[in-house]
Every structure is written in structure tokens, then in C-alpha cells.
A and B are shown apart, each in its own frame.
Chain A
Amino acid sequence: GAGVSQSPRYKVAKRGQDVALRCDPISGHVSLFWYQQALGQGPEFLTYFQNEAQLDKSGLPSDRFFAERPEGSVSTLKIQRTQQEDSAVYLCASAFVLAASTDTQYFGPGTRLTVL
């Protein structure tokens, strides 16, 4: 497949449990983004990677959220001690070029996280 893939597509967690969400970007894409989309809302930025470097993590809501991209390809978003307010769809997007003015972000289908 040529698109961004995410796994799992659905995750149910008990409050307090740790979860890990995976993103496989389009091959060769330098930039990778994570967004959080609450029900009925638009996506909200969480964090941004350029290759393996995390250049912007200003959108991470708390220190329970952690993202990594160790080899500049696959990325994992980890949420520790999940809370009910963490329930949302987590979207990953990737982009090819480095220039902010023209890159197109391609989104994956998202992981729907439900915290009970």
C-alpha cells in the first residue's frame, strides 16, 4: 500500500493502562505528524518529527504523552496511565518535502482509542 497506515485501528483501554499507537508513514516521507481528534471536532496538533528529530511537541497535552521515531520512519505514540479524556481518534500524517510552505500532509485512517 502506498498510503499512511496506522495500527491498531481500534483500541479499548482501561483507565490507568498504558497504550502504544503505531504509524507507518509513506516511504521516503521526511516529516511525520500526530494529531488528536475528539468526537465532533477537528484534528488538533500533538507533535512533529523531521526524520528522527522531534522538532515540535508543543501540542502534547501532558507528560503522559510521549512520541518517538527512532529510525526516521515508523513512529509510536505512547500514552501512559490513560484517562477517560484521552478517548479520541489519533491521526498520523506524513509529508515528503522539508519546506513548510508547500508540503502536503497525507493522513492515515487513525486509531480510535476508547478509555473505559
Chain B
Amino acid sequence: GQQLNQSPQSMFIQEGEDVSMNCTSSSIFNTWLWYKQDPGEGPVLLIALYKAGELTSNGRLTAQFGITRKDSFLNISASIPSDVGIYFCAGRRGATNKLIFGTGTLLAVQP
């Protein structure tokens, strides 16, 4: 099935560092979402974006809806150990309710 291109695939960083990850698609989306998934759990919504160019923050997390509507970025500032997990982007297009997910970015934070 279709999955969005997400990069990097994995990141190993020191506590306190900033993190950036992105998601791209060949198709236009009208909603971009960022989720975090911990082992054995379902994805949890972090940030939702609904307009091209929109920049939204949630604590140390900031995400942007690309102006072309084909990409999105997530930044995490001053990472902490509990940021460890897999981050997924997800997009929704047209009138459909279904989400198309990215391939995921594994984040490891060393104290």
C-alpha cells in the first residue's frame, strides 16, 4: 500500500539536542498530522496541520505544513529521554477520512 516518504529513518542523538524530520509525497494533502508511537501502543497525535504554510507548536514540538502541500516538517527542541519512540507523519487528502502514514522515524536519545 501507499506510504509517505519519511526521513531520516532513524536518529541517535544526545539529550538536549534539537531534532528535525520530514515527510514528502508526490500527491497533495489537505491535512498533515504527526504521531508518536511507543512500543506496544497505538500512535498518539502530537500536532495537526490544516492549511498550507501553517506553523504550529505543541510545547517543544513545532511542525509546518509545506507550502506546496506535498510535505511537512517536525522539529523537536531540547530533546529529553522520554522523546524516544517512533514518529510518524500522516496525511489526508480530498474528502476521505482515511490517513496515509509515513514510514516512520526512530528516535533514540542518550542521556
Contact = CB atoms under 8 A, between A and B. Distances in A.
Interface stretch (A12-20, A65-73, A75-83, A100-108): A100-108
Interface residues of B, number: 28
Given A41-B103, A42-B104, A59 B42 contact: no
B31 A91 contact: no
Nearest to A3: B42
22 contacts: A33-B98, A33-B99, A42-B90, A42-B101, A42-B102, A42-B103, A42-B104, A43-B43, A44-B101, A45-B1, A45-B100, A56-B98, A95-B97, A100-B92, A101-B31, A104-B45, A107-B35, A107-B43, A107-B44, A109-B41, A109-B42, A110-B40
Interface residues of A, number: 28
Interface of A: 4, 31, 33, 35, 40-45, 48, 55-56, 59, 91, 93, 95, 100-110
Contacts of A110: 40-42
A104 B42 contact: no
A109 B102 CA distance: 19
Contacts of B82: none
B10 to A, nearest CB: 11
B3 A41 contact: yes
A108 B98 contact: no
B1 A59 contact: yes
Contacts of B31: 101
A44 B35 CA distance: 14
B42 A107 contact: yes
Name the residue among A35, A95, A104, A105 with the largest chain B CB count within 10 angstroms: A105
Contacts of A101: 30-31, 50
